[in-house]
Amino acid sequence: MDQDHTEYRAARDDEIEACVELQHQVFRPHEDDAPDRYRSYVRDDPSYRPGLSRVALVEGRIVSHLRIWERVLNVRGTTLKAGGVGSLLCLPEYRGRGIASGVLADAERFFLEEGYDLGLLFTIIGTPYYDNRGWTPLPLPTFSATPNSPLVEERVGRGVDLNLDDHLDVIRNIHRVECDSSTGSCERTATYWNDGPARLRGMFPRTGVEVDGRLVAYANWEDRPEGIWVTEAAAIEGCGAAIVTLAETVVSAASGGAIEGSLRRDNPLAACLGQMSEMSWSVHDEMMVKMTDWARLDSRLSSVGVDIGPAPPKSRSDTDSFWRVLFGCALTEDRDTVWWDRLGPCPPLFYSWADIF
């Protein structure tokens, strides 16, 4: 309890329904099925455990909430356990009193106690709110493509609709290519592809390409009023012209509308769309990270021979440089820092849209 009599703590199981109703009210007030969605985030997620819903209570009433999502990130040859902050909210009549900041600080204490290597979030309110609370934005690539010339290359393979029973194992193998080509990608267990939250987000990919009966590439997207948003694409190395077949399926799904999305800049589907389209690249800066405990991070990374040294960054801008260098998205000025000397380059940052919570 703080001096304003606000209590910060984990939600009890019998308080989950109140948290569901708060999220419905604040995020999707006009959607009747929103409570099912928020309930499923907790009840149908095998990785959920008590403690991952954090709340603030004023005079016994829950007025603010966040949900912690556990994510395991591939970083420089090891995995880091991230505590992901989602669904941060405060009831309108209690805003502006620092209550959401208090829930965030409570979650950060939980990260420290529970041994998370870092905090992770994706903001929908811009970066300043979290930046002012010590979080560092990391830029992720986005693209916009307007197809103008069909490719004349020979098509290889045939498009197939994917389903979990037949394709999960091979999809997981193809997904590894994306993990190995980037820094920050999210590890996915077998259940992660089809748990409640994954089904609500349409995580399992829709379409793939088979060559000689073997699946070699897949893609997924969200339908939007103006076209499609490509959430993911992956291909085994050397599958060459099969990507043209994949790109044609994606172009046809857009039905002449916009093709936008977030892919690695050297993702094969992105390269293929680039050949048949006017393609422009940009960044979104929704991804943000925060330190939990330097000594812990040092020990995790040094176990695979990555030496960040015993002393944490000296200042906030030094902290920002550290994260950008570690995650493969260094700015020019970051190359003058000790972090660049110690860590050097690595594959570029990429965190799939499909893994955002």
Cβ 194 vs Cβ 204: under 8 Å: yes
Judged by beta carbon, residue 98 or residue 257, the one nearer ligand COA is: 98
Contact call for residue 125 and ligand COA (CB under 6 A): yes
Distance CA(236)–CA(218), nearest Å, equals 9
Quick check: 134 binds ligand COA (CB under 6 A)?
A: no
* Nearest to 204, CA basis, from 176, 150, 165, 146: 165
Other beta carbons within 10 angstroms of residue 25's beta carbon come to 14
- Helix, strand, or coil (residue 153): coil
89 contributes a contact to ligand COA by CB under 6 A: yes
Distance of closest approach, residue 157 Cβ to ligand COA, in angstroms: 41
Q: Given the complex with ligand COA, which of 125 and 295 has the nearer CB atom?
A: 125
Closer Cβ to ligand COA, 105 or 170, answer by number: 105
**7 near ligand COA (CB under 6 A):** no
Stretch touching ligand COA by CB under 6 A, among 82-90, 167-175, 254-262, 306-314: 82-90
Could you say whether residue 46 binds ligand COA (CB under 6 A)? Answer: no
Q: Is 126 in the site for ligand COA (CB under 6 A)?
A: yes
* Candidate ranges 72-80, 98-106, 107-115, 135-143; the one touching ligand COA (CB under 6 A): 98-106
Pairing of strands 53-58, 6-10: antiparallel
123 binds ligand COA (CB under 6 A): yes
Shortest spacing between CB 27 and ligand COA, in angstroms: 6
- The single residue among 15, 18, 114, 129 that binds ligand COA, judged by CB under 6 A, is 129
**22 or 346, CB closer to ligand COA?**
22
CB half-sphere exposure, 291, CA atoms < 13 A: 19
CA distances from 29 to 85, 179, 223, 357 (A): 21, 36, 22, 19
Whichever of 128 and 344 has its CB closer to ligand COA, that residue is: 128
Alpha carbon separation from 34 to 182, 265, 357 (Å, rounded): 34, 34, 15
- Identify any residues that bridge with 157 across adjacent strands, giving them in sequence order: none
CB of 35 to ligand COA, least distance (A): 17
In the list 25, 40, 78, 101, the residue contacting ligand COA (rule: CB under 6 A) is 101
**Sequence-ordered list of residues with C-beta below 8 angstroms from that of 227, at least 6 positions apart, any chain:** 254, 255, 257, 258, 259, 260
**Which run of H or of E encompasses 130?**
helix 128-131
Q: Which residues bind ligand COA (CB under 6 A)?
A: 26, 88-90, 95-101, 123-126, 129, 132
